[in-house]
Structure 1
């Protein structure tokens, strides 16, 4: 876990430059009247709970000398101090995911992500009790964290506790844009899991069941190929179920994922 410090001219050298040789320092130039600054602040503070970096905050109205020295023309303006050097970070409000990507460029790893990797390994080893212990520890440390809710829901789906998973996913609201689409995609996983209880006997039934099983073990490319094949064969099958399943996978992967881009285009060509 990192920490935040208020910086001015008297402590800038110590808190920013010297400390940057031990920890990455994000320098948040802000103003109390700045609306975007108020939006960015809780994002940075949330990341401080997961990452080991220093957040140095500088009020440009109180310390215009520092703002001028580092070429701050608009706020929020986040600079990066690393190994004694000051470099540009970003101006304005970045999505949380983009700031995480920025931290990753400096080899910073979230404590949450590290623990989740342990949980994934436990699941791969079919050590469900250990996975549950790790999830319980994470919920105690990061209550209501949307990424953790998604992971716990997936864990519950694998245990066939579908109603519990669905209830948990519904706690992620539309306002949490970065996670809401993924939560909707996870609801698709629940429907696919339910479909396997009575898969049917026709050729399309078996194809759909195979695609559903592949989706549930994260074999998304193979699943998308089969769902697309079903759409080509019979758009009305399971009330457009194959197309809806593909949209669910797109939500899980995200709009920028190569598979999403490839199969969105392929789906459009089939439909139109």
Structure 2
């Protein structure tokens, strides 16, 4: 991936959210990482903004990769996953969609969800 720097190349996790643009990029991220928490969001969405610092901490502190998908610029992608409201979080494990959470969740809930798949 072009965004890799020498310091994180070859590692299995990323320390900050990856901004996804399109299905093929999401497929690559899901294929590359064992567990991917995907945040479908919109810039105008208040609850999404509340969730942002939580998602950033999870990217930095857990073994999951975190992907962010702006539903306004990726309407087809959001539709492909049945996203009807934002925020919607979809967790992929081993390349498969494993969980879907709609609405704002607490950091501990999301952390324990990720840990179920990363341990």
Q: Same fold (TM over 0.5)?
A: yes
Whole-angstrom distance in 2 between the partners of 1:98 and 1:80: 13
Whole-angstrom distance in 2 between the partners of 1:66 and 1:25: 16
Corresponding position of 1:2: 14
* Structure 1, gaps ≥5 residues long: 109-272
Within the candidate set 84, 108, 114, 1:97 is matched to 108
1:67 aligns with 2:81: no
Larger Rg: 1
Question: 2:62, 2:111 within 8 Å by CA — same for their partners in 1?
Answer: no
Corresponding position of 1:14: 28
Corresponding position of 2:40: 29
Alignment of 1:206-221 (within 5 A): none
Cα offsets for 1:152-200 (capped at 9, x unmatched)? xxxxxxxxxxxxxxxxxxxxxxxxxxxxxxxxxxxxxxxxxxxxxxxxx
1:55 aligns with 2:66: yes
Question: 1:19, 1:25 within 8 Å by CA — same for their partners in 2?
Answer: no
Displacement of 1:50: 1.5
Decide which structure has greater helix share.
Answer: 1
Question: 1:26, 1:80 within 8 Å by CA — same for their partners in 2?
Answer: yes
Alignment of 1:126-205 (within 5 A): none
Decide which structure has greater strand share.
Answer: 2
Higher relative contact order (CA 8 A, sep 6+): 2
After the TM superposition, list the runs of 4 or more consecutive aligned residues in structure 1 that deviate by more than 6 angstroms: none
Corresponding position of 2:97: 86
**Aligned Cα root-mean-square deviation (Å):** 1.5
Q: Count matched residues.
A: 105
* Structure 2, gaps ≥5 residues long: 1-12
Whole-angstrom distance in 1 between the partners of 2:64 and 2:14: 5
Whole-angstrom distance in 2 between the partners of 1:49 and 1:11: 21
Cα offsets for 1:63-101 (capped at 9, x unmatched)? 100010000000000001111111333111111111121
Whole-angstrom distance in 2 between the partners of 1:24 and 1:59: 20
Displacement of 1:48: 2.1
Corresponding position of 2:7: none
Whole-angstrom distance in 1 between the partners of 2:44 and 2:58: 23
Cα offsets for 1:99-156 (capped at 9, x unmatched)? 1211121134xxxxxxxxxxxxxxxxxxxxxxxxxxxxxxxxxxxxxxxxxxxxxxxx
Within the candidate set 41, 58, 66, 2:52 is matched to 41
Whole-angstrom distance in 2 between the partners of 1:67 and 1:75: 10
